[in-house]
Structure 1
């Protein structure tokens, strides 16, 4: 069997609500979902999601090769772009192709990927995370009631700009997600919007009122010593790593003791997640994948690693034209038995329903405010 080519598709995920974080939000709630289809000479195709960046430069590492050699081909893609580096969006292109390779491998074996990777249980525990910064209190409550109905007892708020508002909104989540004699696990995601002292003050103030399970991305992703100092100054765990593109970027963070919970972005693919999980496990640290709604395949990898803690579940729907072989129940993800990564693509539906909407639009959360970490007083607005 040989890899012969690839094609790309672009669909959208309509969240049905504004989505965003402290850096900004997308009012339409319509975000971009790039898809890569990897083709072989035997007609078996692999589906991957991540990025369309640098696919033309990466594909020569795969062309004519046996797709079952996933680990070898992953390293070949890294080597292909080593001069300009595999960081940033290029790493998303590697992740998309990597996921497609795993899809082919599992389809050829005739098993779902979670079984191929050695998982013994199809259930993956998760926590609710609605990208909820732009929701009103009523909208927030309605959204998390939907999660509560599926058994979720842990939730992560987007925040970090207004302490009073965050405490009020945590109160809403506590009321909705609490069970008989139990309180939910509560997390806050600041999306790299603080400097160190701002983080210490804000988290310490939160902890006077709530039991915060973790604070996520409080500082810039590369600030390993800052994360370590913050971890020693607050009770909450420090969760970070989702925006690190490559295993080598974790070394200073882990060496400094800057992560209590090691995260990996699902958009970067399966092999990356597996390698990050092993690195974390070698230090007795739990691992947590971020953004599974946009990349369902990494859920299977989460089921197979011994140190998985909880996976971020952002939405109970799926992108247009995609069917994901999974259910949300009992506070997590229940994986199905479809061979491969469990993604079915309706290309005709995608082609006939093109819509506007882009995760990279200027007002969105992927554009950092130039004043992040430089505010003395919160203004309650985005993007200034």
Structure 2
């Protein structure tokens, strides 16, 4: 079997709510979704979902090769971008091709990917995450109540600007999820918006009222020393790593004991997750993939990781024109029996109707604000257009 070509499809996800974090949000709730389909001379096709950045430049590294040699091809993709570097957006192109390769390999074997990867169980524990910075309190409760109906007993709040508001909203999430457990797991995600002492003060204040399971991305992703110091000064676990684009970027965090929950971005692909999970497992650390909505195939890898803790579930739907063989139940993802990653694409449907959306629009969460990490009060340093998210009007 040989790889003969590829094609790309652009579809969208309608989140049916504003989505974002402390850095910004997408008011329309419409975001783009890239799909890459690898073609072979055997007629089997592999589907990857994520980011198609630099795929045209990366594809020659795997063209004409046997797609079943996934690990070798992953290293070939890294080597192909050696001089320019594989970090940043290019790593997304590597990730989507890697995911399509794993889908191909499992389809060729006639097995669901979770079984091919060695998982004994198709169930993947998860937690609810509403990308909820722009939701009012009533909308927040409604989202987590819906997730509670699917058995979820853990939830993550997007916050980091106003400790009082975050405490109130974390307690609302706790109440919504209490249908499934008397003590839901609660996490807070600051999306790299603090400096060290700000993080210590903020987390310490929240911990007085809320038993946090972890604080996520409290500092800039590369600040190993800062994360180590923070972890030693607060009670909650420190979680980070989703925006690190390459196994080597985890070395300072792991060597300095700076991370308690090792995260990876699902958008970066399956092999990246497996390698980071193995590195974490060597240090007796749990791992947790972030954003399975951006690449549902990583759930199959999570099922096979012995140190997998919980995976982020942000939405119960699928992108337009995409079906995924999985269900959300019992507080996690129940993977199906279709060969491969269980992803199917209706290309005709997508071509006929494709609303546009962009995570990187100026108001969105992927554009870092100019004064991020420099605020002294909840509203300090923000442009006038961003000084109040909707939830600030729901004070007790």
Regarding TM over 0.5, the answer is yes
Query: Contact 2:153–2:180 (CA<8 Å) still a contact in 1?
Result: no
What residue ranges of structure 1 are gaps of 5+ in the alignment?
none
Q: Please name the residue that 1:233 is paired with.
A: 233
Give me the whole-angstrom Cα distance separating, in 1, the residues matched to 2:333 and 2:75.
Answer: 30
Partners of 1:53 and 1:357 lie apart in 2 by: 16
Distance 1:56 1:270, change over 3 A: same
SS in 2 for 1:134: coil
State how far apart, in whole Å, the 1-side matches of 2:180 and 2:25 are.
35
Please give the per-residue CA displacement for 1:172-197, whole angstroms capped at 9, x wherever unaligned: 11111114762100000000000000
After superposition, the Cα gap between the structure-2 partners of 1:305 and 1:207, relative to the gap in structure 1 and judged at 3 Å, is same
4+ long deviations beyond 3 Å: 380-384
3-state SS in 2 of match to 1:375: coil
3-state DSSP of counterpart to 1:208 = helix
Tell me how far apart the structure 2 counterparts of residues 271 and 52 of structure 1 sit (CA, whole Å).
Answer: 17
Q: Within 5 Å, which residues of 2 pair with 1:1-384? A: 1-179=1-179, 182-379=182-379
The 3 A distance-change label for structure 1 pair 54 and 140 is: same
**CA-CA distance at 1:54 after TM superposition:** 1.1
Q: Aligned partners of 2:116, 2:279: CA distance in 1, in Å?
A: 21
Secondary structure of the 1:156 match is strand
Q: Secondary structure at the match of 2:316?
A: coil
TM-score, normalised by the number of residues in structure 2: 0.96
Distance in 2, Cα, partners of 1:191 & 1:33:
22
Q: Give the match's secondary structure for 2:209.
A: coil
Aligned 8 A contact 2:316 2:328 in 1:
yes
Give secondary structure in 2 for the equivalent of 1:341. Answer: coil
* d(CA) in 2 for partners of 1:271, 1:162: 37
| Structure 2 CA distance for partners of 1:64 and 1:290, relative to 1, 3 Å | same
- How many residue pairs get aligned? The number is 384
Q: Which sections of structure 2, spanning at least 5 residues, go unmatched?
A: 388-396
TM-score (norm 1): 0.98
CA deviation string 1:212-251 (max 9, x = no partner): 1000000000000000000000000000000000000000
Give me the whole-angstrom Cα distance separating, in 1, the residues matched to 2:374 and 2:55. 37
SS at match of 1:145: helix
Inter-CA distance 181–190: structure 2 relative to 1 (3 Å threshold): closer
Work out the CA distance in 1 between the residues paired with 2:226 and 2:356: 40
Distance 1:154 1:210 in 2: 13
